Structure 1
Amino acid sequence: MNRHNYKMGLVRDRWAHSSMGMYLPHKEISESHNCDVINRGAFKSRQKRTQTLITSKCGENPSPFFLARSIAIAMGIRFIVMVMIYSGMIINLLFNQEAPSPLKESYCGPCPKNWICYRNNCYQFSNESKTWLQSQASCRSQNSSLLKIYSREDQDFFKLVKSYHWMGLVQIPTNRSWQWEDGSILSPNQITMVEMQNGSCAVYGSSFKGYTENCLTLNTYICMQRIV
């Protein structure tokens, strides 16, 4: 009986030892796997904390390269803005600058007020339209006569005139020559006459050209006073 019990005990011990041999490796593998998972989780956690810490530090204390780049960009933008502002100012100055014009009104001694003084002659450009005779009468009432071109050099600003104005030039019916108010005959070096329509009076156009015009037509006119 005791011998039987002893054998049974040996069998149980072997079976237990065998069981422990069968299950122990799986348990160790499981524990190793769990440790590996835990270690990887801890590594990821540390990596995440490290990345967050680096991001936080970068946000709080930017690197010198980042600061230099930001300053360079800001200075570049400022330079571009300043160039645009100064360019606009220069362009505005150039376009708005008053161009010197010989027709600008100026008062020079003997010329009546609001007349243009140019090279010792006084001129008035009327704003009202009249016939040739009415224009002549208006100028005479101001102790002047209708425009006469004496010299292209002395009266060179008249080449800039664009609109038509009565001048003191009429055509003599007998010989169809042109004569100034003072009785002198038109010289080819004074102005060039252009036949536009039937008429015995003349209007001044531009570039020292005169155009024939009906004396009853309404036009503006130019009065003139000779100082010397």
Structure 2
Amino acid sequence: MAEEIVYADINNFPSEPNSSRFLHPSQQLRLGSVGILILLTAVITLILQLESEKVKTRAYFGSYAETVKCNASSADFQSRLRNRLCNQQWGNSSVNSTCRLCPAHWHLHRDKCYWISTDVKSWNESLGDCSSRNSQLLVIEDEVEMDFIKKLAQSTQSYWIGLFRSLPKKKWTWITGSEFNRNHFQEPKDAEGMDCGIIKNKILSEKCNAVFKWVCQQGSVLL
């Protein structure tokens, strides 16, 4: 009888639970919370990445749109300037639709601007005055330019130009460093002490300390 009781007690004793199949409720809750936290972190990371891509896309296309708008505005403004200053039809965007501009009181010829003085100075003073106007004393390159200057200036007056006799060889030289071209113009007379050039219907030599009007020259602005 006693043996039967002991056997029964042993059989009825609860076996050790399998840890891989059964978890305490508190452990199950903790694992569930960790899983939810991982999933939530992944979702937030994905959302942030998507938003970052949207910002980059908007920034790129926004910048591109602003560039296109700026270029269009620049072209429109340039076209309006041509219409206002060059008497060109507004909206003409042709590649060849350009014009050249000179400062106020300057005269345009081909790609250069010319200014005629009303005062009189020596050759060196005239040279300095042109420099102060961001220009140079007149350098005549060919017969076409010579004819224009004759029409622009009063033929009865003399005007300093950027020509002088350089030492020691006493060669007539333009202030740009190029030598006087005898194929285009008659060379001024080599008179003693007359080392600066003037224009009065033709190119002549004169004393550099004499006083005359002068002609300044600069490049035009391409619009």
Q: Which structure carries more helix by proportion?
A: 1
User: Radius of gyration: which is bigger?
Assistant: 1
TM-score (structure 1 length as normaliser)? 0.48
Could you say which structure has the greater relative contact order, defined with CA pairs below 8 angstroms and 6 or more residues apart? 2
